[in-house]
């Protein structure tokens, strides 16, 4: 792989989105929010009344969509950004993300995205360090206490965050787990800026050594 990728993984509310976004901005790299991709597929399936548990139908839907994440998330040109965190999407997205046919389509698109960037890409999401970009320049696994993660996801509630933790770590297709060579960063009590500074230091060490 010739392109530069920083892959960031971790559970819901660990700070992945904010840290990855700010890191991309600090480096002048592109940013890819892969959770938003699974959420966008879920939004589209719900609006087309596709049964989220129907593996084949969901796989076909995911294959045929035109998906963009920048500057806003769109599906077939329709802006779905403000729908990504609806309650029914929070509920349904774990089912969609556990579907291996959907995952294959998303992984393909994620690799294509990174390969098309002229500088580097900061990518965040479950399985990004383990499956999608195991050869990434730098792999980071973010953690934070459950209390802090629930606070950050205040609109979602503790039960929903806990349910998603269980669903994401125990599913068969690409469960959430730390890559053996990932750097671990506990973001409890740390600002986004502090987390970004730390990762930039790691990157400097890696690229200088
Ligand atoms: O990070 P998030 O909450 O927006 O992710 C939404 C869901 O998609 C969550 O259940 C985990 C899943 N997901 C995944 O399985 N693989 C990814 N690369 C990104 C997200």
Q: Note the pLDDT tens digit of each residue in 155-202.
A: 778 888 888 888 878 877 777 888 889 999 999 999 999 999 999 999
The pLDDT tens digits of the residues spanning 79-105 come to 999 999 999 999 999 899 999 999 999
- The number of folded domains in the chain is 1
Residue of 34, 42, 128 with the most ligand 1 atoms within 8 Å of its CB, for mutation = 34
Cα-based distances in Å from 42 to 36, 86, 125, 168 = 10, 10, 16, 16
Return d(Cα 153, Cα 167) in angstroms, integer: 17
Q: Which residue has the higher pLDDT, 58 or 118?
A: 58
CATH number at residue 117: 3.40.50.300
Atom of ligand 1 nearest to the CA of 176: 15
Which residue range(s) make up the domain with 30? 5-208
Nearest-angstrom CA–CA distance, 8 and 33: 10
**pTM of this prediction exceeds 0.85:** yes
Q: What is the spatial distance between Cα 9 and Cα 15, in angstroms, rounded to a whole number?
A: 10
Q: Is 114 helix (H, G, I), strand (E, B) or coil?
A: helix
Report the pocket of ligand 1 as residue ranges, CB < 6 Å: 12, 34-35, 38-39, 93-94, 97, 125-128, 164, 168
Rounded (5°) CA angle 102-32-207: 120
| pLDDT exceeds 80 at position 129 | yes
Backbone torsions φ then ψ of 2, nearest 5 degrees: -90, -25
Q: Which atom of ligand 1 is nearest to the CA of 17?
A: 1
In the prediction, which pLDDT does 1 show? 43
What mean pLDDT, rounded, does the chain reach? 92
Atom of ligand 1 nearest to the CA of 132: 18
Report the run of H or E that residue 132 belongs to, with start and end: none
């Amino acid at each position: 792989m010739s392109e530069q990728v920083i892959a960031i993984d971790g559970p819901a509310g660990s700070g992945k989105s904010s840290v990855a976004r700010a890191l991309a901005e600090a480096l002048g790299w592109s940013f890819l929010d892969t959770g938003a991709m699974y959420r966008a597929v879920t939004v589209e399936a719900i609006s087309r009344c596709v049964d989220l548990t129907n593996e084949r139908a969901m796989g076909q839907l995911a294959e045929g969509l035109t998906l963009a994440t920048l500057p806003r998330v769109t599906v077939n040109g329709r802006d779905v950004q403000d729908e990504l965190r609806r309650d029914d999407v929070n509920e349904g997205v774990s089912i969609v993300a556990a579907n291996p046919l959907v995952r294959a389509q998303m992984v393909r698109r994620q690799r294509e995205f990174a390969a098309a960037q002229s500088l580097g890409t900061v990518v965040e999401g479950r399985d990004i360090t383990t499956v999608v970009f195991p050869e990434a320049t730098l792999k980071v696994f973010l953690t934070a206490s459950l209390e802090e993660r629930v606070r950050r996801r205040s609109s979602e509630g503790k039960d929903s965050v806990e349910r998603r933790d269980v669903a994401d770590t125990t599913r068969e297709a690409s469960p959430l787990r730390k890559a053996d060579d990932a750097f671990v960063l506990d973001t409890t009590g740390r600002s986004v800026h502090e987390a970004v500074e730390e990762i930039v230091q790691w990157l400097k060490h890696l690229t200088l050594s």
